[in-house]
């Protein structure tokens, strides 16, 4: 029995803390205005006194459901926890409260007790009203704070100081209301086992609700350090991008809503009963309220739709699961001749079996639909990303091809220019050789002039000599042009030659250049106007100046520069 109670408290406290606490605390994490070291203290200060205000909900739940059998409660809790776990694959933004409602309803149907329908009906209205109220509260509070800030022109630092105080108050309030709202569920579910709970400590004893509350508080404190704190930070980073003002508004709205629905006195004004409400949906609607004012809703719409769909799907699933478990256990116990403790119920299988089959098929269709739509959406997204990547790759490839083509055409044009220049050089060199031949011819003409006796012949031959001088001038000009062209074409070579061998004479440099161009000794003698023997002497001198060894080839060395 004791084990049952512990398991029930642990299951509920763990689920309530892990699933719901991070969401209501995310806005605090997001604003970063409270030192995280103070939060455990605030947790204790807020949760401990909440025990005194939880009686309304506990009484209402106890009136509505028969929770005297520990095994029944355990089944209800386990079925609810499994349902939340299944639904959490679709959305994290849901509440175990709906699962518990579905499970308790299944229990009542199974026991065929009709006195609880009014409570469930009123609770459903409360669940519809609570997000709506949260929306209205957040909208009004946010506008009010904005108006006050604008009117009073408070200094930003003063404003933040006030907001920080407000944030601490709202955190205490929200945790206090959360403890009433969710803690009372634990008390209600374990109320049938109170006489069994007694724990002697230091001369005194802890028992009943107080003992369960202490256990609940301890669990919440432990779970706060791991994983609630981390989850709250994660949610705040993923979904919230809010400042201190909005954090205060969200927490205040959620706290007000939970406080309103945890008091029979206030609820009776609307003809309702005190009932636990979902802090998750209250929080979501508070965020939507602020987004409404700012014209930008900070919550993903898809997540929002999924979350509100879970309000229907979760109790349905929990109902089916609980009912099925009860049926199976009851059948087995009846077969073994044991009494399960649910005797006295009247079987009404015709309606319930039909409802069971219908609900199961609806849920199965829903599950398949969700699964397929999720897969399809992710596949679409993947396909789109792949297409975009392909397009990008193709574009990059086209760009690279274009660049290669441009480089190739540039290379081609450069090669052509190089060929033309080379031909020009060779033509020039040949032309120079022709000039040399021409000069020799003229020299022969002068010899002939010496031998001439006629004045007319002398005159005409002098004119020819004058022409020869002019040709000579033109010849030296062409030579200079040849060397300058060689220097342009082989700029690097000229620079290297000058840097490595600065002591070379102008004639030696020209010889080296002509050798690099591949002229033979005969051609060189013609170009340089010296005998082939002199060319050989010049080559020898050049080898000496270049410090070449006997086995080294002069032309190869010059070309390697």
In terms of CB distance, is 33 or 64 closer to other proteins?
33
Please measure the distance between the N-terminal and C-terminal CA atoms of the chain and give it in whole angstroms: 100
Q: Which of 442, 445, 422 is nearest to 434 (CA)?
A: 442
In terms of CB distance, is 164 or 545 closer to other proteins?
164
CB of 160 to other proteins, least distance (A): 5
Q: Which of 315, 237, 257 is nearest to 80 (CA)?
A: 315
Total residues contacting other proteins (rule CB under 8 A)?
20
Q: Scan residues 29-58 and list those touching other proteins (CB under 8 A).
A: 31-33, 35, 38
How much is the CA Rg of the chain, to the nearest whole Å? 50
- Check residue 530 and report its DSSP letter: S
Taking the C-alpha atoms of residue 391 and residue 232, their distance in angstroms, rounded to an integer, is 40
CB of 225 to other proteins, least distance (A): 20
CB of 31 to other proteins, least distance (A): 7
Taking the C-alpha atoms of residue 120 and residue 104, their distance in angstroms, rounded to an integer, is 9
Taking the C-alpha atoms of residue 503 and residue 560, their distance in angstroms, rounded to an integer, is 19
In terms of CB distance, is 24 or 242 closer to other proteins?
242
CB of 21 to other proteins, least distance (A): 21
In terms of CB distance, is 114 or 153 closer to other proteins?
153
In terms of CB distance, is 151 or 451 closer to other proteins?
151
Q: Scan residues 491-520 and list those touching other proteins (CB under 8 A).
A: none
CB of 138 to other proteins, least distance (A): 16
In terms of CB distance, is 160 or 207 closer to other proteins?
160
> In whole angstroms, how far apart are CA 445 and each of 434, 464, 471, 475?
17, 9, 15, 19
Contact status, residue 558 vs residue 521, Cβ threshold 8 Å: no
In terms of CB distance, is 3 or 156 closer to other proteins?
156
Q: Give the 3-state secondary structure of residue 253.
A: helix
Q: Which of 256, 262, 266, 271 is nearest to 57 (CA)?
A: 262
> In whole angstroms, how far apart are CA 32 and each of 37, 167, 241, 257, 321?
12, 10, 11, 24, 41
- Segment contacting other proteins (CB under 8 A): 25-33, 381-389, 405-413, 464-472? 25-33
> Phi and psi of 366, rounded to 5°?
-60, -45
Q: Scan residues 238-297 and list those touching other proteins (CB under 8 A).
A: 243-244, 294
In terms of CB distance, is 26 or 96 closer to other proteins?
26
Contact status, residue 425 vs residue 485, Cβ threshold 8 Å: yes
Q: Give the 3-state secondary structure of residue 207.
A: strand
CB of 403 to other proteins, least distance (A): 38
- Helix, strand, coil % in the chain, rounded to nearest 5: 85, 0, 15
CB of 257 to other proteins, least distance (A): 25
- Check residue 338 and report its DSSP letter: -
CB of 92 to other proteins, least distance (A): 25
CB of 216 to other proteins, least distance (A): 26
**Window 159-188: contact mask with other proteins (x via CB under 8 A):** -xx--xx--x--------------------
In terms of CB distance, is 156 or 455 closer to other proteins?
156
Q: Scan residues 122-161 and list those touching other proteins (CB under 8 A).
A: 150, 153-158, 160-161
- Judged by the rule CB under 8 A, the positions of this chain that interact with other proteins are 31-33, 35, 38, 150, 153-158, 160-161, 164-165, 168, 243-244, 294
């Amino acid at each position: 029995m004791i084990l049952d109670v512990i398991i029930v408290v642990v299951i509920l406290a763990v689920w309530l803390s892990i699933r719901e606490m991070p969401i209501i605390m995310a806005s605090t994490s997001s604003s970063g205005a409270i030192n995280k070291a103070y939060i455990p203290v605030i947790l204790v200060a807020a949760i401990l006194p909440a025990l005194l205000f939880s009686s309304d909900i506990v009484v209402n739940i106890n009136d509505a459901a028969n929770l005297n059998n520990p095994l029944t409660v355990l089944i209800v809790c386990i079925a609810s926890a499994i349902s939340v776990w299944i639904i959490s694959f679709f959305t994290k933004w849901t509440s175990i409260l709906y699962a518990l409602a579905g499970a308790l309803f299944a229990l009542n149907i199974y026991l065929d007790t009709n006195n609880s329908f009014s409570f469930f009906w009123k609770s459903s209205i409360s669940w519809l009203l609570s997000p709506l109220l949260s929306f209205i509260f957040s909208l009004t509070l946010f506008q009010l704070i904005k108006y006050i800030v604008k009117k009073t022109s408070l200094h930003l630092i003063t404003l933040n100081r006030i907001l920080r105080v407000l944030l601490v108050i709202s955190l205490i309030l929200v945790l206090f209301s959360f403890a009433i709202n969710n803690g009372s569920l634990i008390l209600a579910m374990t109320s049938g086992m109170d006489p069994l709970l007694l724990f002697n400590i230091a001369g005194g004893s802890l028992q009943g609700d107080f003992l369960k509350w202490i256990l609940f508080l301890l669990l919440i404190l432990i779970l706060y350090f791991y994983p609630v704190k981390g989850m709250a930070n994660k949610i705040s980073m993923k979904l919230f991008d809010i400042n201190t003002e909005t954090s205060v508004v969200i927490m205040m709205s959620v706290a007000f809503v939970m406080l309103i629905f945890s008091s029979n006195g206030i609820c009776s004004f609307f003809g309702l009963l005190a009932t636990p409400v979902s802090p998750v949906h209250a929080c979501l609607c508070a965020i939507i309220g602020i987004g409404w004012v700012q014209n930008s809703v900070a919550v993903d719409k898809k997540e929002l739709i999924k979350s509100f769909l879970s309000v229907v799907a979760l109790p349905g699933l929990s109902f089916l699961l609980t009912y099925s478990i009860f049926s199976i256990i009851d059948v087995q116990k009846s077969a073994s001749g044991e009494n399960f403790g649910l005797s006295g119920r009247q079987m009404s299988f015709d309606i319930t079996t039909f409802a069971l089959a219908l609900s199961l098929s609806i849920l199965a269709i829903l599950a398949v639909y969700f699964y397929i739509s999720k897969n399809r959406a992710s596949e679409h997204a993947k396909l789109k990303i792949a297409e975009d990547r392909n397009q990008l790759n193709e574009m990059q490839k086209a760009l690279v091809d274009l660049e290669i083509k441009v480089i190739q055409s540039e290379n081609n044009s450069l090669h052509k220019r190089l060929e033309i220049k080379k031909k020009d050089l060779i033509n020039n060199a040949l032309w120079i050789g022709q000039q040399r031949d021409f000069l020799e011819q003229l020299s022969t003409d002068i010899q002939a002039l010496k031998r001439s006796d006629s004045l007319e012949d002398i005159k005409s031959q002098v004119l020819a000599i004058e022409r020869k001088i002019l040709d000579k001038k033109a010849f030296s000009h062409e030579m200079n042009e040849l060397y300058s062209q060689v220097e342009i074409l082989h700029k690097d070579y000229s620079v290297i030659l000058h840097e490595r061998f600065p002591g070379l004479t102008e004639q030696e440099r020209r010889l080296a250049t002509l050798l690099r161009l591949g002229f033979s000794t005969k051609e060189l003698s013609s170009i340089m106007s010296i005998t082939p023997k002199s060319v050989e002497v010049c080559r020898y001198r050049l080898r000496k100046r270049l410090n070449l060894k006997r086995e080294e080839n002069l032309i190869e060395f010059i070309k390697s520069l």
